[in-house]
Amino acid sequence: QVQLVESGGGLVQAGGSLRLSCAASGNIFSLNAMGWYRQAPGKQRELVAAFTSGATTNYADSVKGRFTISRDNAKNTVYLQMNSLKPEDTAVYYCNKKVDGGEYWGQGTQVTVSS
């Protein structure tokens, strides 16, 4: 079992910044294959940023140059630094961990960007 707990969401004005955290616990062997997804009202959940293998990262085109994913292996925590936020970044952000045979999700944290 893996538990993922997100924090750091909130309300911010356009152009502002937020940092999301995802603390992982349980049968965590590494922070590989972990990342962030988001889901806006009426839309499908989409990948925002993720560690794919080793230190390789993958970003959605819409966030490249604005968002940065990072991790602290000692704390089993993955972060998402979000800068230059836009109203279209408003969504519930979910932490995700992929394992053999499945995946785990956190409960989500709301990010709201006002114009």
* CA proximity to 40, closest of 84, 86, 4, 96: 86
pLDDT at 30 over 80: no
Percent over 90 (pLDDT), the chain? 83
> Which one is predicted more confidently, 86 or 27?
86
pLDDT at 40: 97
Percent over 70 (pLDDT), the chain? 100
Encoded tokens for 3: 């538990």
pLDDT at 54 over 90: no
Asked if residues 78 and 69 have their Cβ atoms less than 8 Å apart, the reply is yes
- Tell me the pLDDT band of 29, cut-offs 50, 70 and 90: confident
